[in-house]
Structure 1
Amino acid sequence: MFINLDFESKEPIYVQLIHQIIEGVAKKKLQPGDALPSVRSLAADIGINLHTVNKAYQQLKQDGFILIHRQKGVVVHPDGIPKADKVYKSVLKEKLHPLISESVCRSVTEEEFLQLCSQLFHEFKEETGDV
């Protein structure tokens, strides 16, 4: 798997793991129905506690990215990721709020902020061939 964690980061390992798996789905490295390693297997491969992997998997399950079957294991949600709805957009706004606040404090202009966002969207589209 393509998981790269920064053990020196201030961001918790389980959050990094969540972000890496979501990025894999966004970049189409992980397709609906693809199997993910078991909690134990992924923890051993990366060298982290299995409770950390379990916490990440539980959050991904709650957010609709994966399904966890007792017999089949962990898979990327076979029906695809749920589309953004009002609740998701509200959560997104909540997450963006502190980023924009800090950007304003650091004199990042609206154009610079939007340009960074646009650049990131473009990078994802290039990697997936959706340009």
Structure 2
Amino acid sequence: MLFELDFQSPVPIYKQIRDQVVLAVAEGRLLPGERLPAIRTLAEDAGVNNMTVSKAYQLLKSEGYLVTDRRSGAVVCRPSAPAGLDEDQMVRLRMLAGEAKLAGLSRAEFEALCGSLYHETEG
């Protein structure tokens, strides 16, 4: 898997890696059982510090998207299905809805855009 990192973005690099893995799992581009590059390999290829990649992998592991062990490295897994969105996700979604409203989108436009983006994850 190739990561597209934006070093000019205000989003931290570890978060960009995390977000791209989550999206790839949702879209089916990364399947359960697939191995991610070793921390050192990804850090060298991306031109970032090992600790940056380690932080992303630890976050993914804590969220249930990765399992790790010394022999197989970081392996993708589908997290157990929670009952809906957690509190942090609801806060972020609420913020996006507010930003969309302030940007001039109608409720129907926002819902259509959300539906379209959700459809993209279905492959």
Please report the TM-score for the alignment, with normalisation by the length of structure 1: 0.85
Question: Which of 101, 107, 110 is equivalent to 1:110?
Answer: 107
CA deviation after TM superposition for structure 1 residue 98, in Å: 1.4
In structure 1, list runs of 5 or more residues that go unmatched. none
Query: Which residue number in structure 2 is paired with residue 83 of structure 1?
Result: 81
State the AA in 2 paired with 1:92.
Answer: Q
Cα-to-partner distance string for 1:42-82 (whole Å, 9 max, x where unaligned): 101111111110110010000000011122211012xx322
RMSD: 1.5
Equivalent in the alignment of 1:68: 68
1:100 matched to 2:103? The reply is: no
Question: What secondary structure does 2:71 align onto?
Answer: coil
Give how far 1:17 is off. 0.6
Amino acid at match of 1:107: G
| TM-superposition CA deviations, 1:88-122 (whole Å, max 9, x none) | 34332121121122222333211111111011112
> In 2, distance between residues paired with 1:22 and 1:105?
28
Distance in 1, matches of 2:109 and 2:37, equals 39
Paired residues in the alignment total 123
Residues in 1 aligned to 2:101 and 2:121: alpha-carbon distance in whole angstroms:
26
Question: Structure 2 counterpart of 1:13, which letter?
Answer: I
Aligned twin of 2:34: 34
Provide the identity percentage: 37
TM-score by length of 2: 0.90
Q: Distance in 2 between matches of 1:123 and 1:47?
A: 30
The Cα of 1:123 is off from its aligned counterpart by 2.0
> 1:75 aligns to what SS in structure 2?
strand
AA of the residue aligned to 2:81: K
Q: Which runs of 5+ in 2 are unaligned?
A: none
Instruction: Work out the CA distance in 2 between the residues paired with 1:50 and 1:43.
Output: 5
